[in-house]
Amino acid sequence: MEFTAEQIAGILNGVVVGDSNSAVSGLSKIEEGVPGSLSFLANPKYEDYIYSTQSSICIVNKTFSPSKELPSTLTLVKVDDAHACFAKLLEVYGQMTKKQPKREEPSFISEKAEVGDGAYLGAMSYISDGVKMGENCTVYPQVYIGENVKIGKNCTFHPGVKIYHDCVIGDNCILHAGVVIGADGFGFVPDENGVFSKVPQIGNVILEDNVEIGSNSTIDRATLGSTYLRKGVKIDNLVHIAHNVDVGENSAMAAQVGVAGSTKIGRSVMIGGQAGISGHIKIADRTQIVAQSGIPGNVKKAATLMGSPGIPIDDFKKSYFGFRKLPYILTKLQELEKKIKSITKE
């Protein structure tokens, strides 16, 4: 699909500087630009690349003023916010390249399922009894949707997604390859001999609108009630969210985060990669948790936490400075100890 500079400027409310008929059919980073591709420049650190790029069109901020001569083959589209506008263009491109309505074979769609208009159902997909799916959903091959699952409109399920029975998915949700929604929570009770008995997990998972979950992440169903991901939650790859967790609106988690059961995470909380969150605790709205931190107890007020157990980041930095000085401090203590012994003998 080909776009001209004039068309791109029209979509982004921008201004063309150069050849308005210059056309592109692909996207590339500015440092890897090739003829016929579109790039963008938002970070000044990358400005040097714009003077040598082979991209045909580059989106830049209206404040951008070249300090050197630009390539003669390069056309600029000046906009208010280059980064945001490039993201908007990617979204438009994604919509234009979205799978067209179709039902591929072989696949199974229960006669007791309701699938809305405009759906793409890939080969080897399985739609169980009682499923209700809204309009314009995209179900890629090898997706399994269990009994009585409720799905809103404009959802996308990438290959290998598994949604267990009775779960609820809101509008505009995106689940990437290998995501599992509604597997049993880790519920076991040991007897007097230490032998574990399984506790039935009879709840479900509810994803509200505009939730996106990265590849191979797992969201466990509740023991009773529901595990919640509220509106706008964004989950990276390889994240585990346990039974009965409640993640507040517009919170985000980077890769390999683990959240133990029944924890309540507030709104707009940001959690860095490989952080671990204990169970049955509450985390205040707008808390930020640095990568590889551990949170063992309640966070009552918004803070930026680091370390394990997590403490305010400024305190952690001071503590870490002291930790790094420990070898020096120990050496000095040993020297003082020798001096004290020598003085005592004298």
> Could you tell me if 271 and 252 are in contact, meaning their C-beta atoms sit under 8 angstroms apart?
yes
| Active-site residue, selected from the candidate residues 158, 240, 243, 280 | 243
Tell the burial category of 110 from Cβ atoms under 10 Å away from its Cβ (0-12, 13-18, 19+): middle
**Distance, CA of 202 to CA of 40 (rounded, Å):** 49
Three-state DSSP at 313 gives helix
346 Cα distance to chain centroid: 68
118 Cα distance to chain centroid: 27
Cα end-to-end distance, the chain, whole Å? 91
Cis ω before 101 (30° cut-off from 0): no
Is 243 a catalytic site residue?
yes
Residue type, 191: D
- Inter-CA distances, 311 with 149, 222, 259, 287, Å: 41, 30, 18, 12
> Could you tell me if 115 and 96 are in contact, meaning their C-beta atoms sit under 8 angstroms apart?
no
204 Cα distance to chain centroid: 22
Positions annotated as catalytic residues are: 243
